[in-house]
Structure 1
């Protein structure tokens, strides 16, 4: 059947907004109803998963399958190993992916999905724990399950009460609730989350260290305390960082001279050629250790309103420098 496209001006805008608002109301009410009926089955499901030595194998058909893929991804990224297996493929060989160490989370609003139900006896014979996420407590899926996470909804948000809308929202929310409770029970922290999201903004902030981004070696503008002023300017210009670090024996930091310092001296009309580096330097430059997170260097810059910080080791020896441009290129800030 071909459905002819409607003219853009032919729909009722007020009705559209009313239906949109009604969708939010119906789905919000359904989630609150499910929340009020959370039972010991939720806790027992958590215990099953926490004791699991394998993975949570999520299954579902149609829209429940799409929800299942998202739930599996959320679990996996928050400390609970998980994967999605398509029920239709499971009965044609993919069931071999499921081991005795796994827990199966099967999702079906009706609990009567043929593709799921055909593999339920096999799972029972294998002795694999089965958790059902369904809207019907008396369904075939629920009867076979060891635990039932009931996601019953009174109606779909669809005006025809046909398209999976409220029911899939309920499934998604139940999956999120399970993932959140599990990550808390496991003591899962930001650093753990970053390790599974190394390409994201949080991963960059929590995994990237100053030593990964800093300038070092010959790229550092450094001079001795007795260096002539023009020699220091040449070093600053050659390295292009907007400052020169004054170091003593063994590269121990003694001070810093910046572009801003140069401007202020010029404004005074001072004869700059007579100065030595130690006479114009600041003796307390901002510094961080090379083993701290790059985001900590960004915090130091923000707090002290500077664009660069020096990087030192435990003996206060100069090992590098990092500026805001380095942090922006790495997308830390």
Structure 2
């Protein structure tokens, strides 16, 4: 067997072992998991996640996932807790303590504090008879299936299961609270994810190029040039968008253009989008249909079709869409 073949064999075995462990975890979830979710839902404070070593690293991620999906949470390092950070805990909080062995000595003071002041404690461990699980009010038990290294030394299967348990908690809470994409965006305004969750109203221009029905093309061309979008909207009663005049319309009516009105030149029933639609959907409207276009008028159906803004493809590209 070549080195490369050996590498691949080992990698596949690790993934297979972890997948098998995840199946075992899914089958082991019981009433204790439901009780943990209920305990968190009833909390009037925050969820404090704590753990040491690899459990601490996973704990950081669990706390971040909870916080970003509508459950206020933060991570407290157990060693720092013993040097003043216990003051971050208060009545109404719930502590989620993580230790695969359930015997991490660094957690001792944190556990004692929760017992002394009646702060609910959820224990996450693979050892049901451990110190952590004996003190915990609710138990999240992960299957004890060794580690992928084969020696039980390198946290791998255990950390994968711990991470999956944290994800299960966060998403169960999220679904119960009916946490929607727009809520998610409030906590993720930056980066690619924030861009994907941007709404049209977040990116649109409200100083829009529009003229009333009956306007002469000579005047419409001035508005079209001043606004710089390469298009002008035609509005009727109550500012309802009737149509648009595009560069293509101009080319099709070159003969005697200045003697015409916008109504004689415009494209009726143009593509539009609502202000509360995702900007990603606007990109699809502009680029996935024929002919491709570079901007969309934003029309709110609730207002009777009134033109509220205009969105250019460059606005979407600027935030990372497209």
Superposed, 1:227-266 pairs within 5 Å as 227-229=216-218, 231-247=219-235, 253-266=241-254
Counterpart in 2 of 1:307? 294
What TM-score comes out, normalization by structure 1 length? 0.83
Counterpart in 2 of 1:280? 265
Tell me, yes or no, if the aligned pair for 1:195 and 1:207 is still in contact at 8 Å.
no
Tell me, yes or no, if the aligned pair for 1:223 and 1:244 is still in contact at 8 Å.
no
Aligned length: 317
Deviation at 1:109, TM superposition (A): 0.8
Superposed, 1:25-64 pairs within 5 Å as 25-64=16-55
C-alpha separation in 1, matches of 2:63 and 2:232 = 52
Superposed, 1:60-99 pairs within 5 Å as 60-99=51-90
Deviation at 1:79, TM superposition (A): 1.6
Question: Cα gap change, 1:292/1:183 in structure 2, threshold over 3 Å: closer, same or farther?
Answer: closer
Deviation at 1:137, TM superposition (A): 0.9
Question: In terms of Rg, which structure is larger?
Answer: 1
Contiguous gaps of at least 5 residues in structure 1: 1-10
What TM-score comes out, normalization by structure 2 length? 0.86
Counterpart in 1 of 2:128? 137
Deviations 1:205-248 (A, max 9, x none): 545342x433343x62647624244x544443443322233446
Contiguous gaps of at least 5 residues in structure 2: none
Counterpart in 2 of 1:162? 153
Q: 1:115 aligns with which of 102, 106, 109?
A: 106
- Is 1:153 aligned to residue 108 of structure 2? no
Deviation beyond 6 Å, 4+ runs, structure 1: none
- Give 3-state SS (helix, strand or coil) of 1:26's partner: helix
Question: Cα gap change, 1:251/1:35 in structure 2, threshold over 3 Å: closer, same or farther?
Answer: closer
Deviation at 1:43, TM superposition (A): 1.3
Question: Cα gap change, 1:265/1:12 in structure 2, threshold over 3 Å: closer, same or farther?
Answer: same
Counterpart in 1 of 2:162? 171
Q: CA RMSD in A?
A: 2.8
Deviation at 1:323, TM superposition (A): 2.3
Counterpart in 2 of 1:325? 314
Question: Cα gap change, 1:320/1:181 in structure 2, threshold over 3 Å: closer, same or farther?
Answer: closer
Question: Cα gap change, 1:15/1:250 in structure 2, threshold over 3 Å: closer, same or farther?
Answer: closer
